[in-house]
């Protein structure tokens, strides 16, 4: 087993060989209610470990391997400029290990997807290797970790469950960054985010399809539940579904909301507001395009994209993706009445451009430097 901290470089933290091992079985519905496996090995990271994304690479005698990716948060009570949030709810939503996810059910053909998924199981969807198309989970989130470190920004990492479980965390940071695919949010998370912004905190939304589905987390914090047809949740008897249908349009916070137009397409952005401070030092003029160079795609506006809607506050439109059928992401900025600021790139693929496209990188630098000032 090799444990790495992932970022600007993949730093080897520990290597262990000839670990004790035995076969562990799982039940038919372990994907939903957890594996309940026995522990056969443990490793404690040093107390001074740097917060961030880590992954353990488990390698067998034949050279086959499996990644176990996890987030190391800072010590309790820590504070700083930047909180980088890992969308671990979404990681699990797409995890079909054991037969079921929020998108599939190989165990029961009469039920197209599972309404419950467990955190206590392997997750091949959280593989951090950045060598595949359509990245949108841990692999895509790693782009932001790499970019922040290459540009000498200090940050602390947390998982969705941390914010759900501790309201005080957000208030200790000037800027919250959510990125890639932050699709599944609990009511507590939304309420805490709104309160954070209401008290002057700032938000960078460098993803797409965000704050979309409501999820409920059980009291043991190990099972995630969704009710996409709008029926009642098992764990708290509340109504499920899309947040926009439950009185909480995501555009009231993000300034934009997801639509399916443009899905699966990847295009550059076109500048709409050349005089805006967000474009300082980019040299961009109205009609220019940027973000065509991208690690994981053919453009920074892509995979899934968000747009201004009827619930959006008054926003500054910086640029719009050139995707067909009005499917381009709306890059926007607005300032809330109490001083909090919001910038939305509105695209899952956007962070894949940051290490390839100087214009995109400068835009993000401008926003971060203003928001943490």
Interval 9-47: pLDDT, tens: 999 999 999 898 888 988 889 999 999 999 988 999 999
* CATH number of the domain that residue 312 is part of: 3.40.50.880
- In angstroms, how far is CA 232 from the centroid of its own chain? 26
What does the pLDDT average to over 120-139?
91
DSSP secondary structure letter of residue 91: H
Which residues have a Cβ under 8 Å from the Cβ of 176 and sit 6 or more positions away?
A: 83, 85, 170, 193, 196, 201, 202, 203, 204
Question: Does the pLDDT at position 259 exceed 90?
Answer: yes
Question: Does the pLDDT at position 133 exceed 80?
Answer: no
pTM over 0.95: yes
CB 155 within 8 A of CB 146: no
> If residue 161 lies in a helix (H) or strand (E), which one and from where to where?
helix 160-165
Parent domain of 296: 2-372
Question: Does the pLDDT at position 303 exceed 80?
Answer: yes
Weakest mean pLDDT among 3-17, 129-143, 233-247, 307-321? 129-143
Distance CA 326, CA 138 (A): 28
Q: Counting Cβ atoms within 10 Å, is residue 356 exposed (0-12), middle (13-18) or buried (19+)?
A: middle
Question: Does the pLDDT at position 131 exceed 90?
Answer: no
286 torsion bin: left (phi>0), alpha (psi -120 to 50), beta (else): beta
Predicted pLDDT at 338: 87
Distance CA 104, CA 91 (A): 14
Predicted pLDDT at 365: 99
What does the pLDDT average to over 244-250?
98
CB 346 within 8 A of CB 323: no
Weakest mean pLDDT among 26-40, 84-98, 236-250? 26-40
Distance CA 265, CA 272 (A): 21
> If residue 136 lies in a helix (H) or strand (E), which one and from where to where?
none
Rg over alpha carbons for the chain, rounded to the nearest Å, is 20
Structural domain tally of the chain? 1
Predicted pLDDT at 266: 96
Count other C-beta atoms under 10 Å from residue 175's C-beta.
Answer: 22
CB 29 within 8 A of CB 117: no
Weakest mean pLDDT among 14-23, 94-103, 199-208, 324-333? 14-23
Question: Does the pLDDT at position 89 exceed 90?
Answer: yes
Q: What are phi and psi of 43, to 5 degrees?
A: -140, 130
Question: Does the pLDDT at position 315 exceed 80?
Answer: yes
Distance CA 70, CA 90 (A): 14
Percent of the chain having pLDDT more than 90? Answer: 90
CB 70 within 8 A of CB 52: no
Pairing of strands 184-186, 213-217: parallel
Predicted pLDDT at 298: 84
Distance CA 106, CA 290 (A): 42
Average pLDDT, the chain: 96
Predicted pLDDT at 339: 83
Q: Counting Cβ atoms within 10 Å, is residue 211 exposed (0-12), middle (13-18) or buried (19+)?
A: buried
Distance CA 39, CA 152 (A): 38
What does the pLDDT average to over 227-235?
98
Give residue 167's pLDDT band: very low, low, confident or very high (50, 70, 90): very high
- Maximal C-alpha separation, the chain: 63
Which residues have a Cβ under 8 Å from the Cβ of 185 and sit 6 or more positions away?
A: 89, 160, 210, 211, 212, 213, 214, 215, 243
Predicted pLDDT at 297: 80
Weakest mean pLDDT among 292-301, 323-332, 350-359? 292-301
Percent of the chain having pLDDT more than 70? Answer: 100
Q: Which residue has the tokens 């203003």?
A: 370
């Amino acid at each position: 087993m090799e444990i790495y901290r992932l970022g600007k470089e993949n730093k080897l933290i520990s290597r262990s060989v000839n670990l004790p091992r035995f076969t562990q079985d799982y039940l038919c519905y372990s994907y939903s209610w957890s594996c309940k496996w026995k522990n056969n090995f443990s490793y404690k990271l040093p107390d001074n470990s740097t917060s961030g994304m880590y992954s353990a690479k488990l390698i067998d005698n034949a050279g086959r391997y499996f990644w176990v990716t996890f987030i190391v948060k800072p010590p309790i009570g820590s504070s700083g400029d930047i909180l980088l949030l890992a969308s671990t709810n979404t990681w699990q939503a797409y995890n079909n290990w054991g037969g079921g996810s929020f998108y599939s059910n190989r165990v029961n053909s009469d039920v197209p997807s599972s309404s419950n998924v467990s955190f206590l199981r392997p997750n091949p969807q959280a593989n951090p290797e950045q060598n595949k198309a359509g990245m949108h989970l841990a692999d895509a989130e790693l782009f932001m970790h790499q970019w922040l470190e290459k540009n000498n920004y200090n940050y602390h990492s947390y998982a969705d469950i941390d914010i759900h479980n501790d309201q005080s965390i957000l208030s200790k940071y000037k800027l919250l960054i959510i990125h890639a695919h932050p699709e599944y949010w609990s009511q507590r998370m939304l309420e805490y985010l709104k309160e954070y912004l209401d008290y002057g905190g700032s938000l960078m939304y460098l993803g797409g399809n965000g704050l979309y589905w409501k999820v409920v987390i059980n009291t043991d914090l190990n099972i995630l539940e969704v009710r996409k047809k709008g029926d009642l949740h098992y764990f708290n008897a509340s109504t499920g579904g899309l947040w926009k249908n439950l009185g909480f349009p995501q555009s009231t916070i993000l300034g934009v909301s997801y639509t399916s137009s443009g899905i699966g397409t990847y295009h550059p952005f076109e500048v709409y507001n050349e005089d805006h401070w967000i474009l300082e030092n980019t040299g961009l003029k109205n009609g220019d395009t940027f973000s065509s160079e991208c690690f994981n795609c053919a453009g920074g506006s892509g995979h899934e994209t968000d747009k201004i809607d009827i619930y959006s506050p008054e926003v500054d439109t910086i640029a719009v993706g050139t995707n067909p059928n009005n499917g381009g992401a709306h890059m926007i900025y607005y300032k809330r009445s109490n001083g909090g600021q919001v910038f939305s790139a509105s695209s899952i693929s956007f962070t894949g451009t940051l290490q390839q496209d100087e214009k995109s990188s400068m835009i993000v630098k401008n926003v971060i430097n203003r928001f943490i000032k």
